Copies of this chain bind each other. A is one copy, B any other.
Amino acid sequence: MSYFRDNIEQLTGYSPGYQPRGGDVVKLNTNENPYPPSPAVIEAIRGFDPEKLRRYPQPLADDFRSAAAKLLGVSAGNIMATNGGDDLLTIAVRSFCGPGRALAYPVPTYSLYPVLAKIQDCPAVEVPFDGDFNLPAALADASAALTIVCNPNAPTASFVQPAEIEKLARRLEGKGVVLVDEAYVDYAPANCIGLVKSCGNVIILRSLSKGYSLAGLRFGYAVANEGLIDGMMKVKDSYNVDAIAIAAATAAITDRKYFQTNIDRIKSQRTILTESLRGLGFELRDSSTNFLPARCPDGNASDMHQKLAKRNIYVRYFNLPGLTDKLRITVGTEEQNRRLVDALNELIRK
């Protein structure tokens, strides 16, 4: 006999990417930013007032909300801070989905979405992207209570234009909410923030993990109209982000210059790495993210993934339909990328 609900008992949990410890490792497997966070973040942490540890943090992360609102040209009431983007995904599924209230999303995408649907015991409607990763029309037909579009998408690195997502949101008006998971948007050509004002049923997810080099801090946020924010506030844990994280995240989004330099460096490395991989016979499209899904020259990504790991170079391999021929490679520093390319060059010529 299990004490757990049946859906939990039967669930296979989400598997985070492998985190090798220490050593001389080239770690390009979990889409982390290869550069450190802004010095302003380090300063906020080092100078943090211990008195604030003793007290409960701001329940709504007011300092961060104000800074984010200013940055995006919205009101503080349009922002909800969360313990990483995953916390927002969990809150949204708990707010909108349940028995008879489906979660829909195009596939392949972030493998956490179906796990959250199973935990919530709600229907999951998976609609395949077409070959060019356009938004499938059938996604709106599902009329789900919550539709999540990861944009740019993981693990495909593809990007759907905001106008397409606006069309989806309009078709779902009065029926369901569209959550645009913009975890990778800092590397993309555009974003959907404008839809918060033009559509009443859109929630934007942002994360500081990638663009701001703060995966270890766990900080994300929602941007949406006040009605949606207020409702989700009732579902979030009362003090879901801690006081140090609020201070560090506020410092991070305020240092625009460092952020832009960081992003530009990665984009330029992305171009170089893309060309190098193509030169080695890998097949890949232009990426709108900080990672490259690259088809191995011989189509055997599992084998290549293991051989790289033996050389302390970690990339991600998904044993999933449509992905077994590809490696997902995070764009690293110039040196990391060169070490990867050198290793691939040797392994392919063997």
Q: Give the interface of A toward B (CB within 8 A).
A: 1-5, 8-9, 11-14, 16-17, 19, 27, 30, 32-37, 41-42, 45-46, 48, 50-59, 83-84, 86-87, 90, 94-99, 101, 112, 119, 121, 145, 174, 176-177, 201, 209, 213-218, 228, 231, 233-235, 237-245, 248
Contact = CB atoms under 8 A, between A and B. Distances in A.
A231 B14 CA distance: 12
Nearest to A219: B242
B42 A96 contact: no
A228 B231 CA distance: 31
A269 to B, nearest CB: 15
Q: How many monomers of this chain does the complex have?
A: 2
B36 A53 contact: yes
Contacts of A30: 55-56
A56 B234 contact: no
A13 B235 CA distance: 7
A54 B176 contact: no
A248 to B, nearest CB: 8
Contacts of A27: 55
Most chain B CB inside 10 Å of its own CB: which residue of A50, A86, A112: A50
Contacts of A240: 83, 218
A101 B121 CA distance: 13
A216 B242 contact: yes
Contact of A242 (B4, B217, B235): B217
Given A215-B55, A238-B14, A228 B42 contact: no
Nearest to A176: B3
A150 to B, nearest CB: 16
